[in-house]
Amino acid sequence: MPQASQFSDRRVAPSVLAVVVVFGIAICALMAKPFLGALVWSTTLAVLFAPLDAVIGRRLKSRGLSALATVAVTAGIVVVPAILVVATLLNEAVRGAALVAPMLDTESWTRFMGEHRWLAPALQWIHDKIDFSDLIRTASSAVATWSGDIVRDSFSGMANLLLTFYFLFYLLRDRERIAESMRLHLPLTDAELSEVGRRATDTIFATVFGTVAVAALQGGLGGLMFWWLGLPAPVLWGVLMALLAIVPFLGAFVIWAPAAAFLALSGAYTSAVVLAIWGTVVVGLVDNLVYPILVGNKLRMHTMLSFIAVVGGLILLGTSGVVLGPLVLAVTLTLVQIWRRRGVTANEAAP
């Protein structure tokens, strides 16, 4: 009987161990959830700046010093421009709301309808349905509240920023150890693990260097034309064009096309034509010319799947979902391909 009981315990042990492991993983995931944003962005920065860290490491001959130097360079490249852009964006939003408000008051709206009688019925319907003065006041108040929220949340943002660079230091310093640990614990061969790693790295590079860089270029070119034409808040509209350009099926035209139409209705036909040509030829073609150069075949994902990954990740996970959504989808598709190859190999070996 003792032998039978011992045999039974051994038979049950793997199941109990599996339940404990799954429970432990769930608890670990809950503990890591507050740090998800910092972990995602630190991992993204680690992948992007790993080549720079390798170059610095060959000169300093110390993993810790090279990781620290890379973190310092990364902070200078990422943080300082971001702070300047956010500060300028807030100022432009407040100033732009103050400039646009007089253009939408009752007197200006009535004069505009008198100059364009063929649009008078539609414009009158819009004016009756929407109180633009109240809308501008609400927008200005929202911007002011947003500014206050940013100031109040600055400590939380600073903590997340420090955590991002804290994690980045260890990801850079111990990346070889992390890769070895993954090789030992994941149920993948070395070739399969290398394939998953390449796909994850390519997806991060494509998402950040490709999508974000092209979107920033489109937003900068669009904002530059807004500034040259004398339109209000060019920095604000440039940033909005850049953000919209990140989302598939949308783009900078969502901003510049209505602006060109507004210029045409206002009688500034030359400015409207210039903006339309600039937006179509220069801003629009940047995506088709620069994106393939930066990305090439790295993303390897259908446009519809890319849209679901980016927008779904953004809705589900917040700003970190812009990177994590495509990354999770790309890694999952790669694992499905590996699983399929294993099944085909097993079927061929079965006879």
Rounded to two decimals, what is the model's pTM?
A: 0.72
* 135's tokens: 């809308």
DSSP 230: T
Q: Which helix (H) or strand (E) holds 15?
A: helix 2-32
Do 306 and 203 contact (CB within 8 A), yes or no? no
Which residue pairs from 149-157 have beta carbons closer than 8 angstroms and sit at least 24 positions apart in sequence? 150/86, 150/90
The Cα–Cα gap between 248 and 303 comes to 7
Tokens 């109240």 map to which residue?
Answer: 134
Render the burial of 198-211: b for 16+ CB within 10 Å, e for the rest: ebbebbbbbbbebb
**pLDDT for residue 97:** 58
Number of other CB atoms surrounding residue 290 within 10 Å: 15
Collapsed DSSP state (helix, strand, coil) of residue 229: coil
10-residue mean pLDDT profile of the chain (351 residues): values are 50 73 89 89 92 89 90 88 70 60 55 57 56 56 53 67 92 90 86 89 85 86 87 80 76 81 76 87 78 71 80 84 88 90 76 62
Q: In the prediction, which pLDDT does 297 show?
A: 66
172 within 8 A of 70, measured Cβ to Cβ: yes
